[in-house]
Structure formats: C-alpha cells, structure tokens
Amino acid sequence: MFARQINYAALMSTLTGKPITEVIDALSKDLPFDWADAYIMMPGAGTEISVIPLGGYVYLFDHKAERVVVAYGLSSKNSMPRDNNRICEFLKKIAGRFQGRTDKGHIMSHAQGGGLDINLFPQRPDVNRGRRTSQDGVVYRELERYCSSNPGAFCFSRLLYNDTSWVPNEIEYGVLYHAKQFRVERITNAPM
C-alpha cells in the first residue's frame, strides 16, 4: 500500500468519555501531524507543506508537488451559488490530460461549505456523482450528504497519491458522527 495507514481507532480510544468539543479540538490538533507524516512517504511528495485556512476548512498544501494533502474542519451550509464559469475553466485545464475521464471533484463538497480553486481535483465521475453502480460512489455521497445536512460536523478528506501527479489514487474521507463514532472510509479514485 502506498499510503501509510493512520490508526484513527487508537486516537479515538484516547478520547473516550470526552465531550465532542474536546474530541474535535484533539483531532484538529493531532491529525494534521499524522497526515503530513504519512503524506511525505507518498511518491512525489515534497516537504514544503503549508497550512491554508479557507472558508470553514483548513488545507494542508504541498507547494513543491502543487497538490492538496488534506482538508479538514467543520461542515457548514454554503449560501453562495456555484461559480460554474470557474469550474468550467478548471475542467478545461484538465481535459487534455484526462480526456473527459474525470469530473471536477470538490475535496469538500459545495453543499457542505467547500469552495473552488484549491478545493478542486480530478475525480472519477462514478464516485463524484454517487452512482449506484459504484459502491465507492454511494459511500462517498453518503458521507458528503451527512456533512451538508449536519452543519458543524467535523470531517476531513485526505488525498492519497501513488505517483507524482496531482490525481489521487484514493480518497480517505472521515466524519465524526458523535464523540464516540468516527467513520473513516477509503474511496477509490483510480482511473477507470
């Protein structure tokens, strides 16, 4: 496996009995270090990782490889309309390379408060659109819907790379449902 596993269950076991606000604070403080350490073991990873707060989320961004490591934070309702022109420009930039085999994916969905620019990446259409023919798509959409329906939910989306490109092979998506349940799923993003 190209991406080091993070033992989320072990971290959660240290937080047993804590109120949800303390659990969120601990996850927000400890996980970025784990994610950065795991990321630098991936192909093409640089060590120039910046912390970029944007909207309600925090992004770890690798300047050398020009790709997002992870986005995390609290979900929120997005009151802004989608900027379809900017999304189309993003699609034009990736179209030649991927020849229509990807969608513009949102690391954090628009409905859960995600924005554009740094928040966009090439994503498999079956996953991005939550198609019923794709179990990964169904799970991915379920997690996004929970976050958009529950403003204030702690969530993260970690991009897992197996080459030097900025196209993740997998997406690790996590949602804290309550102080005792932290659901983390791995979703494939490998080209079809």
How many C-beta atoms surround the C-beta of residue 80 within 10 A?
10
* DSSP per position, 13-61: HTTTT--HHHHHHHHHHHHHHHHHHHHTTSTT--S-EEEEEETTEEEEE
| Residue 188 clears pLDDT 60, i.e. is over it | yes
* pLDDT at position 131: 77
Highest mean pLDDT pick, 61-70, 83-92, 107-116: 61-70
| Closest listed residue to residue 167, CA positions, set 141, 188, 181 | 188
3-state helix, strand and coil shares in percent for the chain, rounded to the nearest 5: 35, 25, 40
- How do residues 39-64 score in pLDDT, each as one tens digit? 999 999 998 999 999 988 999 999 99
Structure-token match 């802004």, residue found? 80
d(CA 126, CA 129): 5
Q: What's the chain's length in residues?
A: 192
**The CATH number, out of the four listed (3.40.570, 1.10.10, 1.10.3210, 3.30.1330), of the domain defined by the range 8-188:** 3.40.570
d(CA 144, CA 114): 11
- How do residues 16-39 score in pLDDT, each as one tens digit? 999 999 999 999 999 999 999 999
d(CA 160, CA 69): 8
Provide the residue ranges of all domains of the chain, joining segments of one domain with +. Answer: 8-188
What is the helix (H) or strand (E) element at residue 173, kind and residue range?
strand 170-178
Q: Which of 31-40, 86-95, 174-183 has the lowest mean pLDDT?
A: 86-95
Average pLDDT estimate for 80-102 = 58
